[in-house]
Homo-oligomer: A and B are copies of this chain.
């Protein structure tokens, strides 16, 4: 392993000078700078990030903590975060919590022991018990945690858009599949759904059922909902995320129902898969790249110390899984 010392010897300068050209310190003569640069090139020297980290008490690393990287939504977030981070020379730690607070604690502890520059987290708990070193900045995605920077879509507005879309299509018997009651996101989206309905007079109150943010929940509750007699079952179902929506479509297919002819379905998140299932899923899109961009930026850029919650606007992607109610 070649060090700053080797470079110094090779260029016939002191290690201080090498360090300064590494830091682009302007106080070094162009002559020496050239010599050092060529030595660096010649020796294929890369500064030891560990040593830099120790010295600066801060490693060029960003921690990304998500409930489940297998969830396409988080995978995409990870892709964007990793892309932006590596562009500026940062590495990213990936940590899965499996939605388990105990695991989350441990993950954060080992992450913090690495002195990351910052941590981007989609938390499963309220984190209040964690001792955050002041040196590591954090960005919370999707959830509001007191004392931390927050970035997320406007969940309420998004769910409202979904519900309004269904209502505009003439649907009256709606159902909503929510996420776990312990999830702020689930509650916000549910609130959005409700707020849209409060403007209309519906002959029947919509069924609200909750579960997890996964395919299984969608399939199970969908099956339950759609197994009801014709005149009771919903003509449209909105869900708290795309996985659930796809599960619902799966259940509908298993029951011999056609989407959207027999049933309209709207999801949330716009995961890549949403545009690939049959029929293509109408859904509320999160501007994930923008979220990742802001998250990384606010970690790197220390000038940005305002703890204002940032809400980014969702957009409704109308595709094939929704249609106007017939007759």
Known: A92-B93, A115-B50. A76 touches B70 (CB 8 A): yes
- Residue of B whose beta carbon sits closest to that of A74: B75
Q: A175 to chain B: which residues have CB within 8 Å?
A: none
Q: Shortest beta-carbon distance, A173 to chain B, in Å? A: 24
* CB–CB B93/A91 < 8 A: yes
Known: A72-B70, A94-B94, A95-B91. A114 touches B276 (CB 8 A): no
* CB–CB B86/A106 < 8 A: yes
* CB–CB A107/B95 < 8 A: no
Q: Shortest beta-carbon distance, A135 to chain B, in Å? A: 8
Count of interface residues, chain A, beta-carbon cutoff 8 Å: 57
Q: A215 to chain B: which residues have CB within 8 Å?
A: 276
Q: Which of A41-49, A197-205, A305-313 contacts B (4 or more CB under 8 A)?
A: A41-49
Decide yes or no whether A37 CB sits under 8 A from chain B: no
Decide yes or no whether A164 CB sits under 8 A from chain B: no
Known: A70-B75, A278-B253. A86 touches B107 (CB 8 A): yes
- Residue of B whose beta carbon sits closest to that of A272: B70
* CB–CB A249/B272 < 8 A: no
Q: A133 to chain B: which residues have CB within 8 Å?
A: 1
Q: A112 to chain B: which residues have CB within 8 Å?
A: 46
Decide yes or no whether A180 CB sits under 8 A from chain B: no
Those of A30-73 within 8 Å (CB) of chain B: 44, 46-51, 53-54, 57, 59, 61, 64, 68-70, 72
Q: A156 to chain B: which residues have CB within 8 Å?
A: none
Contact partner, A276, options B46, B69, B89, B247, Cβ 8 Å: B247
Contact partner, A110, options B50, B69, B86, B249, Cβ 8 Å: B86
- Residue of B whose beta carbon sits closest to that of A279: B253
Q: Which of A11-19, A77-85, A182-190, A292-300 contacts B (4 or more CB under 8 A)?
A: A77-85
* CB–CB B113/A94 < 8 A: no
* CB–CB B69/A72 < 8 A: no
Task: Sort A-B residue pairs by CB-CB distance and give the 7 closest, nearest first.
Answer: A94-B94, A49-B113, A50-B53, A253-B278, A75-B75, A49-B114, A50-B54
| Chain A to chain B contacts (Cβ below 8 Å), 5 pairs | A48-B54, A50-B115, A78-B94, A83-B96, A86-B106
